[in-house]
Structure 1
Amino acid sequence: MRDPRMSALGKGLRRRGRLMVQAVSPPRRVSPERRTLNAVPSPREAVDTDTDTAGTVPLAPRLVESPVFVLSSVRSGSTLLRVLLNSHSRIRAPHEMHLRTVHVQFSRDFTADAMKELRLDRQELEHVLWDRILDLELTHSGKDVIVDKTPANTLIFKRLRRCWPNARYIVLLRHPGAVVSSLVNRRDNPNLEAIHEEVLQYAEKLEEARQQLEGAHVITYEDLTADPERITRGLCAYLGVPWESAMLDYGSHDHGRFRPKLGDWSSTIKSGRIQAARTADPEIELPPRLAELAKAWGYTG
């Protein structure tokens, strides 16, 4: 009869040197007011992943050569944009995919050397994994264009550019004051200072992306809700697909379950109808830098 201790030892030996893939959640915040379903990653995580500098290894071939990423702040209408795009017969825009939280971990010191011999490092292995995830989702959908609208992708757009040199970007703007108002209304006992800090972190990255990503397609949430046909026609032209009127009737299509942490799940998005964007609360004064960015994006007042 096999000694159970030897069986356990054998399992332990087989675990050595393996690659571990983990979906890592952002660190929990201490302040209750700043705990949010769309929490900003810690500065350490953002710095660790937001790079497009040349890696230590060459890029592996990509299965999805030109994915599309929506760059936006939280509470900026990205879920509405997602379902409009997903209603197109050739565009797959799934729930938020949170690729930045999917990491590869080397469980032994020698694993890095083994991967180096294969012309791979930890970052490029993560890129290969991210690419495979998008390819699987695109294959399952039967469509040929994939769009990931996770707001936190805005914080790592340089890393995405490194991973997919031929990626395309939709920059979705919303008046920072309206984003602040939405977060204030959404939270219990909101900490206005913390909300300003959160919105500013996204806004700074959005402005950086707007300036650096040549050829990115820039739209506003206000225009999307006010004139959805014109904006979706422009999006289709950018993505190289013909416009379809069915995109505007997103409620008649299956977009999966609307649920927390995967996008907006409010009654507004569940209504299946495009509704007018809510404006900023005029009584909420923006910090100078946020006001400056709002003006740079064409917003007044």
Structure 2
Amino acid sequence: MGVVNKGFKRRARLLREALRPPWPLTQPENSGELKVRRPPKRTQIVDHTFPAVPRLVRSPVFVISPVRSGSTLLRMLLNSHSQIRAPHELHLRTVGVELTPGFSETSMLELGLDRVELEHVVWDRILHLELLRSGKQVLVDKTPGNVFIWERLKYVWPEARFIFLLRHPEGVISSLQNRKDNTTTRAALEATALKYFKPLEQARRKLDGVTVRYEELTAEPERTTREVCSYLGVAWEPEMLQYGRHHQDQFVPNLGDRSDNIKSGRIQAARTFDSIDGLPPKLAKYATAWGYG
């Protein structure tokens, strides 16, 4: 009974994380076309455990980063590699499964599947389908919302790999501030950034992975992408740095950066900040931890 309760509690916690609505950003990144909706209520998890279904994609790669940290640029560079598929933001966190009580719920339970594990099956199938379509070997998802479910991602894929993408806190806030039609106060933007920074730092301390700083990615793209390729177990390809020459996905609202800079197809220098002077203590703490102090 102790094992059963422990498993149930863990799944219940994962479910709460999955249902937590995205942190508000006043408007979705680079677009005012869509608004975030709270996910519908889900059926209750049953009080016993289920074995995990074998994964089709054993070792996917997840970029753990805040918003406005250069994740779209990193995605474009990685996706230009012949063996790396880095699609637009997948938002697995808000891809769910609904089971009708008494019918599909009972049926799936008889198969040894609860709703949480069914969601994991769907997520895994999405990644696998994308790999099959691309003909590549490595799948990278760079959705910023992954920072809120890093524990669940590790639970779903025990062999998952992680790229921690950092940016000077002032750079993140300035980028949020400079978004088109932004009317949010500085204090609100700082609060938004902190909501990403806290779980990001928790993930960095708990998980193995490779750390990339946005400023270094733009200043020394060859060295930085070589380090990432080495971590992913693929040979570095110089064509990665010319991402504008490769066929890429369409720039769709709410699925990544659509600015003129990213559309130019060229790596452009990041705005840099030489110190942490002027940052509130809560932000300065992360700047120091990430080597910007």
Query: Does residue 238 of structure 1 match 2:198?
Result: no
How far the C-alpha of 1:193 sits from its partner, in A, is 1.9
Report the identity percentage. Answer: 57
Contact 2:95 2:119 in 1 (8 A): yes
Question: Which of 187, 190, 196 matches 1:196?
Answer: 190
Q: Return the alpha-carbon distance in structure 2 between the equivalents of residues 107 and 277 of structure 1.
A: 50
Change (3 A) 1:69 1:28: closer
Contact 1:40 1:152 in 2 (8 A): no
Q: Return the alpha-carbon distance in structure 1 between the equivalents of residues 116 and 250 of structure 2.
A: 32
Q: Which amino acid counterpart does residue 95 of structure 2 have in structure 1?
A: V
Query: Does residue 209 of structure 1 match 2:213?
Result: no
Report the equivalent of 1:80. 73
Query: Does residue 60 of structure 1 match 2:65?
Result: no
How far the C-alpha of 1:196 sits from its partner, in A, is 1.1
Q: Return the alpha-carbon distance in structure 2 between the equivalents of residues 145 and 275 of structure 1.
A: 26
Q: How many residues align?
A: 264
For residues 108-166 of structure 1, the C-alpha deviation after alignment (integer angstroms, 9 at most, x for no partner) is 24533332221111110000000000000000001011100111111110110111010
Change (3 A) 1:203 1:153: same
Q: Which runs of structure 2 are paired with 1:22-41 in the superposition (5 Å)?
A: 34-37=26-29
Please report the TM-score for the alignment, with normalisation by the length of structure 2: 0.83
Unpaired runs of 5+ residues, structure 2, are: 1-18, 43-47
Q: Which runs of structure 2 are paired with 1:71-220 in the superposition (5 Å)?
A: 71-186=64-179, 187-213=181-207, 215-220=208-213
Q: Which amino acid counterpart does residue 164 of structure 2 have in structure 1?
A: V
Equivalent position SS for 2:119: helix
Q: Which amino acid counterpart does residue 73 of structure 2 have in structure 1?
A: L
Q: Return the alpha-carbon distance in structure 1 between the equivalents of residues 22 and 93 of structure 2.
A: 13
Contact 2:86 2:141 in 1 (8 A): yes
Q: Return the alpha-carbon distance in structure 1 between the equivalents of residues 274 and 226 of structure 2.
A: 30
Unpaired runs of 5+ residues, structure 1, are: 1-23, 49-54
Please report the TM-score for the alignment, with normalisation by the length of structure 1: 0.81
Q: Return the alpha-carbon distance in structure 1 between the equivalents of residues 20 and 249 of structure 2.
A: 22
Change (3 A) 1:75 1:27: closer
For residues 220-265 of structure 1, the C-alpha deviation after alignment (integer angstroms, 9 at most, x for no partner) is 0011001000011111110000010000000000111112211100
Over aligned residues, Cα RMSD in angstroms? Answer: 2.7
4+ aligned runs moved over 2 Å, structure 1: 24-29, 33-42, 107-114, 279-287
- Max radius of gyration: which structure? 1
